[in-house]
Structure 1
Amino acid sequence: MLSRLDPSVGRLLISEPFLTDPNFKRSVVLIAEHQEEGTVGFVLNQPSALFLKDLIPELEDTDFPVYIGGPVGTDTVHFIHRCHDRLNDGEEIAKGIYWGGNFEALKILLANNSIEQDEIRFFIGYSGWGMEQLKREIKENTWIVSDQYHPDVVFNNNEEDLWREVIINLGPKYAHVSNFPSNPNLN
Structure 2
Amino acid sequence: MKLNINIFKIETNHVAPQKGRILIAEPFLPGSYFNRAVILLVAYSDKGAVGFILNKKVDYPINQIIPDFPDFDADVYVGGPVSTDSIYFIHSLGTEISGSIHIKDDLYWGGDFEELKSKIRLGMVKPGDVRFFMGYSGWDHGQLEEELAENSWLVTDIDQQAVMGEESKKQMWLNIVKGIGGKYLMWEHFPENPSMN
1:63 maps onto 2:73 in alignment: yes
Give structure 1 regions of 4+ aligned residues with deviation exceeding 4 angstroms: none
What do the CA deviations read for 1:21-71 (whole angstroms, capped 9, x no partner)? Answer: 211000000001112221110000111122211233222412311111000
Please give the secondary structure, in 1, of the residue aligned with 2:138. Answer: strand
1:39 maps onto 2:59 in alignment: no
Residue of structure 2 equivalent to 1:166: 176
1:102 aligned to which of 109, 112, 116: 112
1:153 aligned to which of 148, 162, 169: 162
> What TM-score results when the alignment is normalised by the length of structure 1?
0.90
The one-letter amino acid paired with 1:37 is K
1:92 aligned to which of 85, 99, 102: 102
Contact 1:62 1:110 in 2 (8 A): yes
Structure possessing the higher radius of gyration over alpha carbons: 2
Q: Distance in 1 between matches of 2:120 and 2:68?
A: 10
Residue of structure 2 equivalent to 1:2: 11
Identity over aligned pairs, percent: 37
Bigger mean CA offset, 49-58 vs 3-12: 49-58
> What TM-score results when the alignment is normalised by the length of structure 2?
0.86
Structure 2 CA distance for partners of 1:72 and 1:88, relative to 1, 3 Å: closer
Please give the secondary structure, in 2, of the residue aligned with 1:57. Answer: coil
Deviation at 1:8, TM superposition (A): 1.1
CA RMSD of aligned residues (A): 1.8
Q: Distance in 1 between matches of 2:74 and 2:30?
A: 29
Unaligned runs of 5+ in 2: 1-9
Bigger mean CA offset, 1-10 vs 86-95: 86-95
- The number of residues matched between the two structures is 186
Is the strand fraction higher in 1 or 2? 1
Bigger mean CA offset, 48-57 vs 6-15: 48-57
Unaligned runs of 5+ in 1: none
